[in-house]
A and B are shown apart, each in its own frame.
Chain A
Amino acid sequence: MKKIRLIIQREYLSRVKKKSFIIMTLLGPVLMASIWIVPFFLATMSDEKKVIAVVDETGIFTDKFESTDKVFFVYETDLEKAREDLEKEKYSAILSVIKPSYTIPDKAILLYSDKSPGIVTQSYISNAMQTILKNNLLISAHNISKDDYDLINRTSIKLNTEDIRTGEKSYTKIKTYLGIFSGILIYFFIFMFGAQVMRGVIEEKTSRIVEVIVSSVKPFQLMMGKIVGVALVGLTQFALWILLTLSIITTLQFSMPDVFKSPKTEQAFDAGQKIPSADQVQLQKLQHQEVREMISGLFSIDYGLMICMFLFYFLAGYLLYASLFASIGAAVDSEADTQQFMMPITIPLLFAIIMSNFVINNPDGPVAFWLSVIPFTSPIIMMVRIPFGVPYWQLALSMGLLTLGFIATTWMAGKIYRTGILMYGKKTSYAELWKWLRYQ
């Protein structure tokens, strides 16, 4: 036991002290924090204010547009003068409405601009025009009051999904992202740290130190020491990532409180006394709905469960594959020779990543169930499923099978490893590996 501890210690320290580890540890949180922060910035990021000159021959739209903090309307009568001003960059665009206006739709309404105006601006203008036209029609032709009109206009429907057990909104979209994200993260972690184990074994073999060491400890101890050491490196990295990410987010939240409004205040604003006009509602819907959904989604996730499950599936999945990586390292003489043996490892992992798209669409279906229970794909697929909620018995089954799985692969890999590390200069084949497996 003391010897294994020594090996773990060496494997751990020699990796943690490397420059590449330190760089990865610092870069990771920046990436992860940005995933969290970008939606907030998107929500508040305002484009520069756009000034639109309206040249309306019909008079229907004159003085009817409501300016917001993003789009400001100016009314002109002369198109030529407006064009000149546009060139002087006084306006961002000119909206020209030619008489007779809405009876001849094609080319009757034109938006001139230098740079093509943003899609949000465009849809805002066309929405506003539609509203004004409708307004005009309803009020003048059908005699409906402005209040009634506003009422009609706000009868939009939004489909809210809610989890029947927790009574929370289900935020399918954000869960999809989160599921896929954690699945991919597991995939990367398994490959990254598995490859580290493999490289470590190859290093010991090519530097010929391995025979010195196995005269002091058993080959299996050396292999396990390396695998556990690298796992601890992975956990350290993961813990540092979480810590640093959280500190980046909290620092930013502290220094820029405006940006990180929690969705509750946003909703309060929504339902507040100030009833926004139909146009503003429209604009807000266009710009904010998705982002706001995402933010409240981010707040709705059970991070504790996610992190616990992530740790388990990372560790167990890593253990399942790491010993296989180790046995590949033992079977070859250099990293260039690993290709032929990498296939059986790459295929199930890649398959899981590809299938995760399918699983997302039907997270409780039979495919999702089987793939999240079979040890070789379960670390990835189960992580994809977890944000959507998985019955406890399935979780238990999956975790149990994965544990059995890594015990089995470790036992098998240990046998290949034991023989492989002392074999030099011979090109190994699958038949050879099979023989090694059966040695006493």
Chain B
Amino acid sequence: MYLFSAHNITKNYAAHTALKNVSIDVPDQSIFGLLGPNGAGKTSLIRIINQITAPDEGELYFAGEKLRQEHISLIGYLPEERGLYKKMKVGEQALYLAQLKGVSKADALKKLKFWFEKFDILDWWNKKVEELSKGMQQKIQFIVTILHDPKLLIFDEPFSGFDPINVNLLKEEILNLRNKGATIIFSTHNMSSVEELCDNIALINKSEKILDGKVHEIKNTYKANIFEITYHGHSAIIKNTLPQSFELISDIQKNGISLLQIKIPISATPNDLIQNLLPQIEILSFNEILPTMNDIFIQKVNEQNR
């Protein structure tokens, strides 16, 4: 079941096309990564999902219904370009933004107290925003984004401007939210966090979607059948005994450990490799090397740009 779907979205600006026939499906209660280089069209798509702009063509569905203005109160959005009114007090401002999302004042007050306590920032309530550091402001923005218990959360580069401790805090909260039933669209350049958090991704480049699917499936599709082996013994023997179709990629000694990388043909299995190696060396560990999302990202974008 998809919480959110976009079908064949096209958006043209006067001089260029921001999105060309892009479709995404975001499964319920999952974290969906929206990836792509700068200027690919991610922000355009996100603005369309938030109904800030309208697409020229294509359809949008929220929980099976056509996306309507009322759905705004079910969506929480943390934009990449984010800020707060500098002269306004923190509490007053959080209350205002929550009410704009349709939360009643009493409700907003109660929830804000809860979150401020949780993040241990209650004493900021009467401070002006300009007195806070950038990281502190981001925390407030995060709270405001999730305060109205949205079904769909959209984070655009949420970790920029946070220190590592707060990044962890935020990741935990994002996973918490997902576990409690929220669906999250997550746009970022930070590929390690994509691997850590995302269940599905879509990769957009030059206004077009060039890749999408479940993260582990994509990784499997793009794996190169390379295995890494640590061992005791002499590598010279291995080179001679390996079949022609098995390719020795590297063989290094590092910190007293010998490390071997071998690419096997598609027809072979890992067991074939182990059988080959067993008589020669003492195997300490045996791992398949999967491509990182970073590698896949760069590979796919370069392919298209070529």
The residues of A with any CB-CB pair to B shorter than 8 Å are 3, 6-7, 10, 14, 203-204, 207-209, 211-217, 219, 422, 424, 435, 439-440
Contacts of A215 in B (CB 8 A): 50-52, 72, 75, 77, 79
- Cβ contact of A216, chosen from B47, B88, B101, cutoff 8 A: B101
Given contacts A212-B144, A215-B52, contact A207 B84 (CB under 8 A): yes
- Cβ contact of A422, chosen from B14, B47, B83, B141, cutoff 8 A: B47
Interface centre among A208, A215, A435 (most CB of B within 10 A): A215
Contacts of A212 in B (CB 8 A): 77-79, 82-84, 97, 141, 144
Given contacts A208-B81, A209-B82, A212-B79, contact A10 B50 (CB under 8 A): no
A217 CA / B52 CA spacing, docked (Å): 9
Interface centre among B51, B82, B144 (most CB of A within 10 A): B82
Interface footprint category on B: 20 to 34
Q: Taking the nearest CB of chain A, how far is it from the CB of B15, in angstroms?
A: 9
Flag if A211 contacts B56 (CB, 8 Å): no
Flag if B52 contacts A214 (CB, 8 Å): yes
- Cβ contact of A6, chosen from B56, B77, B99, B144, cutoff 8 A: B99
Contacts of B88 in A (CB 8 A): 14
- Cβ contact of B87, chosen from A3, A14, A217, A219, cutoff 8 A: A14
Flag if A211 contacts B52 (CB, 8 Å): yes
A287 CA / B293 CA spacing, docked (Å): 93
Chain B interface mostly? loop
Interface string of B52-64 (1 = CB under 8 A from A): 1110100000000
Contacts of A435 in B (CB 8 A): 14
A211 CA / B77 CA spacing, docked (Å): 9
- Cβ contact of B85, chosen from A3, A207, A214, A422, cutoff 8 A: A207
Flag if B96 contacts A10 (CB, 8 Å): yes
Q: Taking the nearest CB of chain B, how far is it from the CB of A431, in angstroms?
A: 10
Q: Enumerate the 7 nearest inter-chain pairs by beta-carbon distance, A residue then B residue, closest first.
A: A208-B83, A216-B100, A211-B79, A207-B83, A215-B77, A215-B50, A208-B81
Is B86 engaged at the interface, CB distance under 8 Å to the other chain?
A: yes
A209 CA / B141 CA spacing, docked (Å): 10
For residue B148, which residue of chain A has the nearest CB? A216
Given contacts A207-B84, A422-B47, contact A213 B100 (CB under 8 A): yes
- Cβ contact of B72, chosen from A208, A211, A216, A424, cutoff 8 A: A216
Q: Taking the nearest CB of chain A, how far is it from the CB of B123, in angstroms?
A: 22
Flag if B82 contacts A208 (CB, 8 Å): yes
Q: From residue 79 to 131 of chain B, which have CB atoms closer than 8 A to chain A?
A: 79, 81-88, 96-97, 99-102
Q: Taking the nearest CB of chain B, how far is it from the CB of A6, in angstroms?
A: 5
Q: Taking the nearest CB of chain B, how far is it from the CB of A98, in angstroms?
A: 77
For residue B75, which residue of chain A has the nearest CB? A215
Contacts of A439 in B (CB 8 A): 13-14
Q: Taking the nearest CB of chain A, how far is it from the CB of B84, in angstroms?
A: 6
Flag if A209 contacts B85 (CB, 8 Å): yes
- Cβ contact of B83, chosen from A14, A209, A216, cutoff 8 A: A209
Contacts of A440 in B (CB 8 A): 54, 56
Q: From residue 270 to 299 of chain B, which have CB atoms closer than 8 A to chain A?
A: none
Flag if B86 contacts A207 (CB, 8 Å): yes
Interface centre among A6, A207, A213, A424 (most CB of B within 10 A): A207
A440 CA / B97 CA spacing, docked (Å): 28
Knowing that A207-B86, A212-B144, A216-B102 touch, tell me 11 more A-B residue pairs with CB under 8 angstroms: A3-B102, A10-B96, A14-B88, A203-B86, A207-B85, A208-B79, A208-B81, A209-B85, A214-B52, A215-B50, A215-B79
For residue A207, which residue of chain B has the nearest CB? B83
Contacts of B50 in A (CB 8 A): 215
A217 CA / B97 CA spacing, docked (Å): 10
Contacts of A3 in B (CB 8 A): 100, 102
For residue A209, which residue of chain B has the nearest CB? B83
Q: Taking the nearest CB of chain B, how far is it from the CB of A221, in angstroms?
A: 10
Q: Taking the nearest CB of chain B, how far is it from the CB of A65, in angstroms?
A: 69
Interface string of B237-253 (1 = CB under 8 A from A): 00000000000000000
A435 CA / B85 CA spacing, docked (Å): 30
- Cβ contact of A217, chosen from B53, B82, B100, cutoff 8 A: B100
Flag if A6 contacts B100 (CB, 8 Å): yes
Contacts of B144 in A (CB 8 A): 212
A435 CA / B86 CA spacing, docked (Å): 32
- Cβ contact of B84, chosen from A209, A214, A217, A424, cutoff 8 A: A209
A209 CA / B84 CA spacing, docked (Å): 5
For residue B99, which residue of chain A has the nearest CB? A6
For residue A208, which residue of chain B has the nearest CB? B83
Flag if A211 contacts B86 (CB, 8 Å): no
Contacts of A209 in B (CB 8 A): 82-85
- Cβ contact of B81, chosen from A7, A10, A219, A424, cutoff 8 A: A424
A207 CA / B75 CA spacing, docked (Å): 22
Flag if A216 contacts B52 (CB, 8 Å): no
Interface centre among A3, A10, A207, A209 (most CB of B within 10 A): A209
Q: Taking the nearest CB of chain B, how far is it from the CB of A254, in angstroms?
A: 41
Interchain residue pairs with CB less than 8 A apart (17):
A3-B100, A7-B100, A14-B85, A14-B87, A203-B86, A208-B81, A208-B82, A209-B84, A211-B52, A211-B77, A212-B82, A215-B52, A215-B77, A216-B72, A216-B100, A216-B101, A440-B54
For residue A17, which residue of chain B has the nearest CB? B87
Q: Taking the nearest CB of chain B, how far is it from the CB of A417, in angstroms?
A: 13
Flag if B97 contacts A216 (CB, 8 Å): yes
For residue A436, which residue of chain B has the nearest CB? B14
